[in-house]
C-alpha cells in the first residue's frame, strides 16, 4: 500500500451503515451557528451511491412542503454526525431517478422482505 | 538558509477539513536529501548546496561520480540537484535534510517534468476549437489557415502548430502546504503538480 492510500484510509469512516439506493435514511448533519453546534436531520430516500474510496458520495431525496429536495453528501464527510438506516427498500435499479417524476402514492417504495 | 528539497510524486487524493471542506492534495515523498557538496563564494564564487535523493546501485555509477559521492561521504544517489542559498552556514557535507524543512501553511513552488504526450495536434496542444464532428464536415481537428497570402508570404514566427506536447519542465507556483509528515517523509500540497506518478519533483519555498 502506498502513502496516498494510507492517507485516504485514515480519513475514511467505518461507522457508516450499509445502505443502497431505495433505502430510507436519516442523515444527521452537524451545523455550526457561530459558537453553537447542533444537529440537523435530513430524512429521505437514497437516490444513488457513487464513487469509491475517499470520493464516494450519496444523494438523498425528500419532499419538503410539496417540493422535492435532493442533497448530495460525501460519504466520508466529517460534517455527517451519523446515518440511521430507517427502512430498506426493494428497488431494481441502482439509481432510482424515476422517483423524481412520481408523486404521492406512486412515489412509495416497497419495503424489502427481511431474510 | 536552504529553501528547497528533492521529492517524488506519489499521487493525488483529497482531505476533509473539519468544517467539511474538501481539499484536493498531491502527496509528495520528500527527502531525506543528503548534502553532497557545499559551494561557497570563496571557492565557487557563489553560495549553493548540491542535494542528492534516492538510492542508486554503486555498479551503475561512473567513476567520476563515484569519486564525487566519496568526497561527499554518501552512498551513490540517483538524483542530484543544486539549490542556491544566501548563506551556507549550518549546512555541512553529509548532512541529511528531511521533509520538516516545510511547515503547514508554507507556499511552495513545485517543479517537475510534465507527462509526455508525443506529437500532438493543435486541438489538444493549443486548445484550438477544431471543426464540426458531423453535418458533412470533413475537417475535424485541422489547424485551418496558418496565415495570409503574398503579403507576408511567410508564416508568422511563433504560429501555434502541431508538435511535441509535454515532457517539458513545468512549475506549479505558490501551492499551499496542507500537511507535513516527517516520520513518513511526506509533504501534502494543495492542487496538482506537473508530471506522472513516480516522477521526480523539486520543491522550493515561495
Query: Which segments of chain B are extended strands (E)?
Result: 4-16, 22-30, 33-39, 48-55, 77-84, 96-97, 107-113, 118-120, 163-165, 169-181, 186-190, 200-205
Q: Which triple of cell numbers denotes residue B135?
A: 453535418
Is the Cβ pair B186, A32 closer than 8 Å? no
DSSP assignment letter at A14: S
Alpha-carbon torsion B108, B109, B111, B114, what sign? Answer: positive
Whether the per-residue pLDDT at B116 is higher than 70: the answer is yes
Is the Cβ pair A3, B188 closer than 8 Å? no
Tens-place pLDDT, residues B158-170: 999 999 999 999 9
Residue B176 pLDDT = 93
Residue A115 pLDDT = 61
Q: If interface means Cβ-Cβ distance under 8 Å, which residues of chain A face chain B? A: 2-4, 7-8, 11, 30, 32, 54-55, 74, 76-79
State the Cα–Cα distance between residues A16 and A13, nearest whole angstrom: 7
Please provide residue B82's backbone torsions phi and psi, each rounded to the nearest 5 degrees: -100, 135
B183–A contact, CB cutoff 8 A: no
Mean predicted confidence (pLDDT) in B63-68: 86
Q: How far is CA B10 from CA A7, A77, B204, in A?
A: 11, 23, 18
State the Cα–Cα distance between residues B82 and B27, nearest whole angstrom: 23
For A1, the closest chain B residue by CA position comes to: B10
B14–A contact, CB cutoff 8 A: yes
Residue B131 pLDDT = 87
Angstroms from A103 CA to nearest CA on chain B: 33
At B177, the pLDDT band (50, 70, 90 cuts) reads very high
Q: Which of B27, B29, B99 should be substituted to probe chain A, the one whose Cβ sees the most A Cβ atoms within 10 Å?
A: B27
Is the Cβ pair A74, B19 closer than 8 Å? no
Chain centre to alpha carbon of residue B188? 15
Q: Which residues contact B193 (CB under 8 A, 6 or more apart)?
A: B9, B26, B28, B110, B112, B172, B175, B201
- What is the model's pTM? 0.82
Angstroms from A35 CA to nearest CA on chain B: 13
Whether the per-residue pLDDT at B71 is higher than 90: the answer is no
State the Cα–Cα distance between residues A59 and B102, nearest whole angstrom: 39
Mean predicted confidence (pLDDT) in B76-101: 84
Tens-place pLDDT, residues B20-39: 889 999 999 997 888 888 88
Would the ipTM clear 0.85, i.e. be above it?
A: no
Strand pairing partners for A24? A45, A87
Amino acid at each position: 500500500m502506498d502513502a496516498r492510500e494510507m492517507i485516504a484510509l485514515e480519513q475514511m469512516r467505518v461507522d457508516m451503515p450499509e445502505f443502497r439506493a431505495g433505502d430510507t435514511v436519516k442523515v444527521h448533519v452537524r451545523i455550526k451557528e457561530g459558537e453553537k453546534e447542533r444537529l440537523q436531520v435530513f430524512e429521505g430516500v437514497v437516490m444513488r451511491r457513487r464513487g469509491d474510496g475517499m470520493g464516494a458520495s450519496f444523494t438523498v431525496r425528500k419532499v419538503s412542503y410539496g417540493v422535492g429536495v435532493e442533497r448530495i453528501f460525501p460519504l466520508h464527510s466529517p460534517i455527517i454526525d451519523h446515518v440511521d438506516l430507517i427502512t430498506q427498500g426493494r428497488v431494481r435499479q441502482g439509481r432510482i431517478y424515476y422517483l423524481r417524476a412520481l408523486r404521492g402514492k406512486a412515489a412509495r417504495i416497497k419495503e424489502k422482505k427481511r431474510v | 538558509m536552504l529553501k528547497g528539497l528533492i521529492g517524488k510524486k506519489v499521487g493525488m487524493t483529497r482531505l476533509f477539513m473539519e468544517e467539511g471542506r474538501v481539499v484536493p492534495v498531491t502527496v509528495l515523498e520528500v527527502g531525506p536529501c543528503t548534502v553532497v557538496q557545499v559551494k561557497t563564494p570563496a571557492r565557487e564564487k557563489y553560495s549553493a548546496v548540491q542535494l542528492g535523493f534516492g538510492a542508486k546501485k554503486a555498479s551503475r555509477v561512473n567513476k567520476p561520480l563515484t569519486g564525487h559521492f566519496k568526497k561527499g561521504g554518501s552512498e551513490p544517489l540517483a538524483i542530484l540537484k543544486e539549490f542556491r542559498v544566501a548563506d551556507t552556514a549550518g549546512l555541512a557535507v553529509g548532512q541529511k535534510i528531511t521533509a520538516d524543512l516545510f511547515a503547514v501553511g508554507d507556499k511552495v513552488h513545485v517543479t517537475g517534468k510534465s507527462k509526455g504526450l508525443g506529437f500532438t495536434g493543435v486541438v489538444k496542444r493549443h486548445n484550438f476549437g477544431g471543426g464540426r464532428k458531423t453535418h458533412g464536415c470533413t475537417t475535424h481537428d485541422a489547424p485551418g489557415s496558418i496565415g495570409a497570402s503574398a503579403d507576408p508570404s511567410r508564416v508568422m514566427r511563433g504560429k501555434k502548430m502541431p508538435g511535441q506536447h509535454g515532457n517539458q519542465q513545468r512549475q506549479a507556483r505558490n501551492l499551499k502546504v496542507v500537511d507535513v509528515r516527517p516520520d513518513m517523509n511526506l509533504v501534502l500540497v494543495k492542487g496538482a503538480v506537473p508530471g506522472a506518478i513516480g516522477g521526480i519533483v523539486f520543491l522550493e519555498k515561495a
